[in-house]
Chain A
Amino acid sequence: MNRFAELLAALAFQPQRNGKLRLLTDYFRSVPDPDRGYALAAIAGGLKFTHAKPALIRGLVDARIDPVLFDLSYDYVGDLAETVALIWPKKHGANVSPGLGEIVERLATLGKAELPRCLEKWLDALDADGRLALIKLITGGLRVGVSARLAKTAVAGIKSVDPNEIEELWPALSPPYLDLFAWLDGTAEKPSAKAHAVFRPVMLAHAIEEEDWPGLDPSDFIAEWKWDGIRVQAVSEGNVDRLYSRTGEDIGGSFPDVLDALPPNVVIDGELLVIRKGEAASFNELQQRLNRKAVNAKMLQEFPAGIRAYDLLMLDGEDLRGCAFVERRARLEKFIAERKSQQLDLSPLVPFATWDELRAHRASPPSPAVEGVMLKRKVSPYLPGRVKGEWWKWKRDPHLVDAVLMYAQRGHGKRSSYYSDYTFGVWKNDELVPVGKAYFGFTDEELVKIDRFVRAHTTNKFGPVREVVHDQKTGLVFEVAFEGLARSTRHKSGVAMRFPRINRLRWDKPPGEADTIETLEMMLTAD
């Protein structure tokens, strides 16, 4: 448990993706079975046991600690789990600290009545980091900021295999993944992925840039709309149906209606959308269906989800991924024509002869749920990952607003001496309200200039955050580009941006002339 606790602590302070990856790989490489396997399951969300309520923990600590001392401490620390972990009195001569595997295996078989006593014993035997990890684990609050995908990538790092190989195997594996680690350690063969309805790594497109056009011949490509939903892979094999996100996360639980409508023995690549009478709705509506554990009948009726198919990877056991796109497309069209339903339809092609013609189509899409066009090379097979030159995405132009820099935060790693993360706001009456945060979109030279500006115009410091002058006359205006806007109760402004980035620095513009919240609210109704 100690190594797992140490890992969680280190991850909690590590802001960089690569840093997290290194910590994880180091852990998976050096910790023995079965602990590392259970750690992988805990992080990737594959552990199942009944969780304890925070009240149980509170009860245990109340029996041990003077309430005055506890209250003073809780007031100081502010977080219940952390306070309990820190304040739990050391017991000399306690048992040896239990391993993660021991704890997980015990929890799986433990009766509810035995839990408190067992927990107490473990708390006595662990140190403060270990206690915090245990409390978070059993109360289900293990938020470590690591996605399942990142954890698998770290595991792949043990032997430098392609993370996609692990992704393909994943549905066939179960904690503590002894066969997986044995293979990566080089002591056993690769486990078989013959199990059912596995995820196939998806093919991704490059965003097309000005300089890419001259090398491209329109007659080599087919164009189709790019829909603004969630890219998914629907798999039906044997009697198993699954719906995966493009990173291989199983999201089927939230979309039983889509799974029900899936024909047998097929793997489809498509876009998950809310579809009403054949019309795709905006991303905001799809969001109502996301991350819901329980889906009720009302949700299903109000926000009916479906797949708009882009590609066909497998059909009746035949792997089509090696075929050319035109061939797969022909098979897909025939397949959908025979089985079309409310929950499964075809993404139409966009006919064009020249790039200018396509540009014109892109400027007037048939639906607000279109976010651009996709270009696919006619002869390209279906390849995992972002393969350059085969698929291109040509997005609709982003929304732009002028917003004022309000707070700047120090970055991390190479940027840790630069103020590189910016919170910006727009005017609401005479006051600026924050509407978003961005930390890219500018060049290194621009970063140096903004950093200098921040340091010279600081009005307040809070740890690594500086408040920057932002009145009508003085301040820095950013032209911010973003993909979409959603209502948000968590933001004071009432709106939240998707993919905001700094498009341009407007040193020339006085902050008083930046945009107002009304401008954003209009975009919201237009979307």
Chain B
Amino acid sequence: MTPLLEPKPGGLYCAEGDFFVDPVRAVKRAVITHGHSDHARAGHEQVLATAETIAIMEVRCGDDCAGIKQAARYGQTTTIGNVKVTLKPAGHILGSAQAVVERGAERIVVSGDYKRRRDPTCARFEPVECDVFISEATFGLPVFTHPPDTQEIAKLLHSIAVFPERAHLVGAYSLGKAQRIIALLREAGYDAPIFLHGAMVELCKLYERFGVRLGLLIPLTEAKNKIFSGSVVIAPPSVFGERWTRRLGDHVNSFASGWMRIRARARQQGIELPLIVSDHADWEELTATVEELRPRELWVTHGQEDALVHYSRSIGVPARPLSLKGYDETGEGEPETGTQATLFPLNANGGNGKDSGL
């Protein structure tokens, strides 16, 4: 019998249903887990995804981002040939889903990018029992444990209190992270207007349309002669050091990312206030998920595969790395063109040499 899913150069492929999950090039039929650009590419003839993900694709790539767009609710099953596909919440960003692929009694779960903790901007991850669980491993090393996000937001608010005359420029990926930071700030009682870089204005509106309350947001373009002292400005992390940031006056460079766990990473970027907030599962979440699901087999895709594969085998769950090409290994899923080199100068497998004087 043909395998239910197999890794192909274009991505994970289901021969029986003739579709790919998150293909990295244009294909005839695609199931898309979420709207990050390395997972949701334009140009497919048919797309199956959540309504939120389809809306995100339309905002980013236009209404003609795909031929036929089919929206599915969480839990709704679509039959493609002999195969059934069901989308379940992945807890990663708004509309993010795990693709549950079934043929008879056989079930594979493609988790896409996921996290387990609560996020006010999206539905929480739902564990699904399965034969094969396909996990990401962006933060697949035991040194990555993300602290509670309330603690990181408190760090930001404390810094605003200690440096009230300086603007706080928070670098956050335009889709997902930016909205989550805003929502968390609102939950912590921060009700001042928040200033937005142009790259995230439309996406914030989209979140609002889907019922995520973000409070008063002001695009920077509409704040021409504003003094930014004490304000929070959210922008993609690629903007650090760009000339327009001079408008903000003396400001604190902050960056919300799971990578901020490693001090050298923050220092290399000249970050004064690192915030360890990630939309990806940390080591504890990754391993707890494997232990909870105990699949017959674990497949590991983009990120730090080695450690997770090793761990999984050590608890008796057979595992193998998939080494799919074309996904953003640096995580955070948002490769804004041209920023990779400056953001993550460490090489892709992460080794930055010992005793680098962190």
Residue B142 is within 8 A (CB to CB) of chain A in the complex: yes
Q: Given A73-B142, A128-B145, A128-B147, do A78 and B270 touch, yes or no (CB 8 Å)?
A: no
Q: Which residues of A contact B246 (CB under 8 A)?
A: 417
Contact of B268 among A22, A76, A464 (CB under 8 A): A464
Nearest CB of chain B from residue A258's CB, rounded to whole Å: 34
User: Are B354 and A78 interface neighbours, CB within 8 A?
Assistant: yes
Nearest CB of chain B from residue A459's CB, rounded to whole Å: 13
| A412 to B263 CA separation, bound complex (whole angstroms) | 18
Q: Given A22-B163, A78-B264, A461-B341, do A69 and B310 touch, yes or no (CB 8 Å)?
A: yes
In this complex, what residue of B is CB-closest to A2? B151
Nearest CB of chain A from residue B121's CB, rounded to whole Å: 25
The A contact surface, by secondary structure, is helix
| A73 to B307 CA separation, bound complex (whole angstroms) | 9
Nearest CB of chain A from residue B141's CB, rounded to whole Å: 5
User: Are B162 and A26 interface neighbours, CB within 8 A?
Assistant: yes
| A78 to B351 CA separation, bound complex (whole angstroms) | 8
Q: Which residues of A contact B245 (CB under 8 A)?
A: 416-417
Chain B 209-248 near chain A by CB (<8 Å), digits 1 or 0: 0000000000000000000000000000000111101100
Q: Given A13-B271, A26-B162, do A73 and B143 touch, yes or no (CB 8 Å)?
A: yes
Nearest CB of chain A from residue B153's CB, rounded to whole Å: 14
Q: Which residues of B contact A86 (CB under 8 A)?
A: 142-145, 261
Q: Given A13-B266, A26-B162, do A416 and B253 touch, yes or no (CB 8 Å)?
A: yes
* Interface positions of A from 269 to 316, Cβ below 8 Å from B: none
User: Are A410 and B241 interface neighbours, CB within 8 A?
Assistant: yes
User: Are A87 and B241 interface neighbours, CB within 8 A?
Assistant: no
Contact of B284 among A23, A72, A90 (CB under 8 A): A90
* Interface positions of A from 1 to 33, Cβ below 8 Å from B: 6, 10, 12-15, 19, 22-23, 26
Residue B82 is within 8 A (CB to CB) of chain A in the complex: no
Contact of A13 among B250, B273, B351 (CB under 8 A): B273
Q: How large is the interface on B (under 10, 10 to 19, 20 to 34, 35 or more residues)?
A: 35 or more
Residue B292 is within 8 A (CB to CB) of chain A in the complex: no
The B contact surface, by secondary structure, is loop
Residue B251 is within 8 A (CB to CB) of chain A in the complex: yes
Nearest CB of chain B from residue A88's CB, rounded to whole Å: 9
Residue A413 is within 8 A (CB to CB) of chain B in the complex: yes
User: Are B353 and A78 interface neighbours, CB within 8 A?
Assistant: yes
User: Are A78 and B141 interface neighbours, CB within 8 A?
Assistant: no
In this complex, what residue of A is CB-closest to B352? A78
User: Are A23 and B272 interface neighbours, CB within 8 A?
Assistant: no
| A79 to B272 CA separation, bound complex (whole angstroms) | 20
In this complex, what residue of A is CB-closest to B141? A73
Chain A 236-261 near chain B by CB (<8 Å), digits 1 or 0: 00000000000000000000000000
User: Are A464 and B356 interface neighbours, CB within 8 A?
Assistant: no
Residue B296 is within 8 A (CB to CB) of chain A in the complex: no
Q: Which residues of A contact B141 (CB under 8 A)?
A: 69, 72-73, 76
Chain A 448-473 near chain B by CB (<8 Å), digits 1 or 0: 00000000000001111000000000
**List of 8 A-B pairs having minimum Cβ-Cβ separation, nearest first:** A463-B268, A86-B143, A79-B358, A464-B270, A414-B250, A78-B356, A76-B350, A73-B143
